[in-house]
Structure 1
Amino acid sequence: MSNLAKQILKILEAQGNEMASVMFVLDQLEKAETQFSMAEFDETVDQLRRDGVVRVTNSSDPRNNWQLQRR
């Protein structure tokens, strides 16, 4: 699992059962000074979703409308 995936999961775990907007997650990653590209972020979230670790709602909407939740 990549460092970015671990950071995303850490942020979502801190949210508990609450949904987190992608913008919130991106803001938290920037505060932690995590280096990543948006393409890498998209790929990581998609992989976490396919692995069944993260639930993504509004996934057919633009990325800014996505809501993420740790499963």
Structure 2
Amino acid sequence: MIIGRVLENEKRVKFNIEIYCNNCGVKVPGGLQTGESYFETNEFKNELQELKKNYLCGICRDKKRVEK
């Protein structure tokens, strides 16, 4: 999954952080990627914290959409 911004012709930084679905608790497979210039900035750290707080796996996300 790519978070943040990746500029054209910019190297991507790949990293692994354990993220769990906030509804069912399933661990999200795979790693994350972001642009080299965006990695470890305050904006990046804030976005990562928000992702951890609000992440839903595909199944839970689809259930939520159907309920609406």
Indicate whether the TM-score tops 0.5. Answer: no
TM-score (norm 2): 0.30
TM-score (norm 1): 0.30
